[in-house]
Amino acid sequence: MGRWIIISGLILVVIGMVLQYAPWLFSWFGRLPGDIRIETENSRVYIPITSMVLLSLLLTVLVNLFRR
């Protein structure tokens, strides 16, 4: 259990560093075809449906690879 918490923490640190120093790597997230973006004068609403499906598929593949 402790090992997984440490690994998860390291992964979060790496993701945080990438977002801090190389934000262009994730600039596509939320801008794929199928993502809903509604912008008015007073508000913005983002519903990244396609991005979330893609992220879910990627995480499912990764989890299945590590479980075997």
Whether residues 67 and 39 fall in one domain: yes
- Check if the beta carbon of residue 33 is closer than 8 Å to that of residue 55: no
Whether residues 35 and 15 fall in one domain: no
Angle at 15 between CA 11 and CA 21, to 5 degrees: 145
pLDDT tens digits, one per residue of 32-51 = 898 999 999 999 998 999 99
- pLDDT reported for residue 31: 83
- pLDDT reported for residue 42: 95
What is the model's pTM? 0.64
- pLDDT reported for residue 58: 92
Whether residues 37 and 67 fall in one domain: yes
- pLDDT reported for residue 3: 86
Q: Range of 67's domain?
A: 31-68
Whether residues 16 and 41 fall in one domain: no
> Number of structural domains, the chain?
2
pLDDT tens digits, one per residue of 4-29 = 889 889 989 998 999 899 988 878 77
Whether residues 21 and 36 fall in one domain: no
